[in-house]
Amino acid sequence: MKHKHCFSRSAACLAGAALLCTAFSVQAREYSVSTVLSDAFPWGEAAEKWAELVEERSDGAITLEVYPDSQLVNGDQTREFSAMRSGLIDMAVGSTINWSPQVPELNLFSLPFLMPDYEAVDAVTGGEAGEMVFDAIESKGVVPLAWGENGFRQLSNSNGPVDAPEDLEGLKIRVVGSPLFQDTFEALGANPTQMSWADAKPALTTGAVDGQENPLSVFDVARIDQAEQMYLTRWDYMNDPLIFAVSERVWQELTDEERELVRQAAIDAGEWEIEKTRAEESERLEAIKDRGVEVVELDEEQRDAFVDATASVYDDWTPEIGADLVESAREAIDNR
Ligand code: X2X
């Protein structure tokens, strides 16, 4: 956190009441916000929106400075949560995937084909399961405030159309640094390689890997098609929610009123970003198709083959995530 003494917009300062200014100087506080993606992507836009709302509503007393590209953790996005916990990072808008090595409950969202549609996502994040996830984060020394969304993750590769697990046989797929993804892609017969986002595009461009998985917005903005990824399978196999959070140290510094302000701004920024991300999906898909990418849509039978092939992931990961949490999420989805 940085202090900006006697912030310029203070009317007292402008009136030249120097003494008053010293006596009542409002120390504008600046906090760092870490993100993996910049504001060229919905993810970074969510963080910028949060910053904008906090600055506006606190009349400049609190400012948030967004640091994209995982730069505060030298590109290693799986260290973001620990850095927030230890107070190196003040705040973050982070992915459940990247924080899952430290918070096993977050693997819930990566269970393959758990959430079939947006209603399912909202039922999980907005219900008891979402609260359980937030409690798990809080018990690790980070204060979660609101949800955002990176989106449903889709599969791309440079080899050919994928509409059955057999098509993935032996393909080298870049996955995020979370062991669950390793298991999912091994169950599908692929050859997964964990690497950071910073390393992903070079690895795709050089052909070190054949494929990757990310939401349409990421594929579109990062121009993954330029990295030979001309086949995309829309399989909606997992939704990647984002979480707005604050380190415990910073939270302790805030007054009750400020906490409420920061929390409400996160909720509003998250809702704004989720709506925008979802509304943009169809344009993104068109843009991707216009660039010549062959898009495969799965019918029910084809989708079921992927569901069956990845069923073992549930056996291995449910104890890790917590059977109660998985059950609560399933109930929420069934009753959505
Ligand atoms: O690394 C990725 O694939 C990304 C950008 O989607 C995440 O940070 C989870």
Reduce the DSSP state of residue 138 to 3 states and report it.
Answer: helix
Owning domain of residue 285? 2-334
- Return the ligand 1 atom nearest residue 240 CA: 9
Tell me: the pLDDT tens digits for 139-168?
999 999 999 999 999 999 999 999 999 999
Report which residue type is found at 306.
F
DSSP string, 42-96: HHHHHHHHHHHHHHHHTTTSEEEEEE-TTGGGTT-GGGHHHHHHTTSSSEEEEEH
The CATH number assigned to the domain holding 153 equals 3.40.190.170
Sign of CA dihedral 168, 172, 173, 178: positive
3 state SS of 1: coil
For the stretch 189-225, pLDDT in tens is 999 999 999 999 999 999 999 999 999 999 999 999 9
**List of residues 6+ apart from 47 with CB closer than 8 A:** 33, 35, 39, 64, 66, 68, 93, 269
* Ligand 1 atom with minimal separation from the 77 CA: 8
Ligand 1, atom 1: closest residue by C-alpha: 197
Pocket of ligand 1 (CB under 6 A): 36-37, 77, 95, 97-98, 150, 176, 197, 214, 218, 240
Nearest CA to ligand 1 atom 5: 197
- DSSP bridge pairs for 246: 91, 143
Query: What distances in angstroms separate CA 256 from CA 92, 120, 222, 245, 263, one per listed residue?
Result: 20, 33, 40, 16, 11
Mutate to test the pocket of ligand 1, among 34, 35, 36 (most ligand atoms within 8 A of CB): 36
The whole-number pLDDT of residue 177 equals 87
DSSP class per residue in 243-285: EEEEEHHHHHHS-HHHHHHHHHHHHHHHHHHHHHHHHHHHHHH
The minimum-distance atom of ligand 1 relative to the CA of 150 is 6
Average pLDDT for 160-177: 97
Q: Which helix (H) or strand (E) holds 19?
A: helix 18-24
Q: How far is the CA of 214 from the centre of ligand 1 (A)?
A: 7
CA of 263 to the centre of ligand 1 (A): 24
Q: Are 94 and 36 within 8 A, CB to CB?
A: yes
Structure tokens given for 85: 């916990």
- Taking CA atoms only, the protein residue closest to ligand 1 atom 2 is 197
Residue 18 reports pLDDT greater than 70: no
Q: Specify the ligand 1 atom closest to the Cα of 43.
A: 5
Provide the pLDDT for residue 3. 54
177 C-alpha to ligand 1 centroid (Å)? 9
- Ligand 1 centroid – CA 235 distance (Å): 17
Helix axes 179-187 and 312-321, enclosed angle (nearest 10): 160
The answer, yes or no, to whether residue 5 has pLDDT greater than 70, is no
Residue-wise pLDDT for 218-274, tens only, equals: 999 999 999 999 999 999 999 999 999 999 999 999 999 999 999 999 999 999 999
Total domains in the fold of the chain? 1
**Distance, CA of 89 to CA of 32 (rounded, Å):** 6
pLDDT tens track for 294-306: 999 999 999 999 9
Atom of ligand 1 minimally distant from the CA of 97: 9
Residue 1: pLDDT over 90 = no
Q: Which residue has the higher pLDDT, 25 or 137?
A: 137
pLDDT of 28:
83
Question: Confidence band (pLDDT; 50, 70, 90) for 2?
Answer: low
* Mean pLDDT (whole number) for 28-33: 95
The CA-to-CA distance between both ends of the chain, in Å, stands at 42
